[in-house]
Amino acid sequence: METINQRIAAEIEGDFVVFLIGARVNGLTKIPKFIPVGRAMGRMIKELGEHPELGMLHVESWFSLRSTIMVQYWRSFDHLHAYARMKDAEHLPAWADFNRRIGSNGDVGIWHETYLVRAGEYEAIYNNMPEFGLASAAGWTPATGKMESATGRLGR
């Protein structure tokens, strides 16, 4: 990815959702139990990427030896919730499989956090970065004028 060698700010119209989701292997001998979880998440991200009408705008992922975290940007909570409940999508079978194989046995932990962001109630700045995060999800503008400071980006 090519870097944008200037200060830029993310700019998105309307409300949106930031969804954090991850998994943690609770012991090195449990790594084989994580593999199906990782594969299922890969299938979900592929499906969401192929169907932008489902509402996921962008995703960023990080991995370490024992845990993963993914930051997803969604157009709305309604889109996120509808995807989680779609009978013909990847999520429900993956969720059923996780509960059947792992449930609450302690082998692999999963988690998520959902943040509803109202229009104009966010700010983001990037410098010498490729498009990243919210700027990838929505677009960006040069961080000049009122966009130069955090308070300006927040309209305060």
- Domain positions in the chain are 4-11+122-153, 16-117
- For position 64, what pLDDT does the model report? 93
- For position 68, what pLDDT does the model report? 96
**Using CA atoms, how far apart are residues 45 and 39, in angstroms rounded to an integer?**
10
- For position 65, what pLDDT does the model report? 87
**Using CA atoms, how far apart are residues 83 and 54, in angstroms rounded to an integer?**
7
How would you write the pLDDT of the chain (156 residues) with one tens digit per residue? 899 999 999 999 999 999 999 999 999 999 999 999 999 999 999 999 999 999 999 999 999 989 999 999 999 999 999 999 999 999 999 999 999 999 999 999 999 999 999 999 999 999 999 999 999 999 999 999 999 999 999 988
Q: Which CATH number fits domain 16-117: 2.40.50.140, 3.40.50.1400, 3.40.30.10, 3.30.70.100?
A: 3.30.70.100
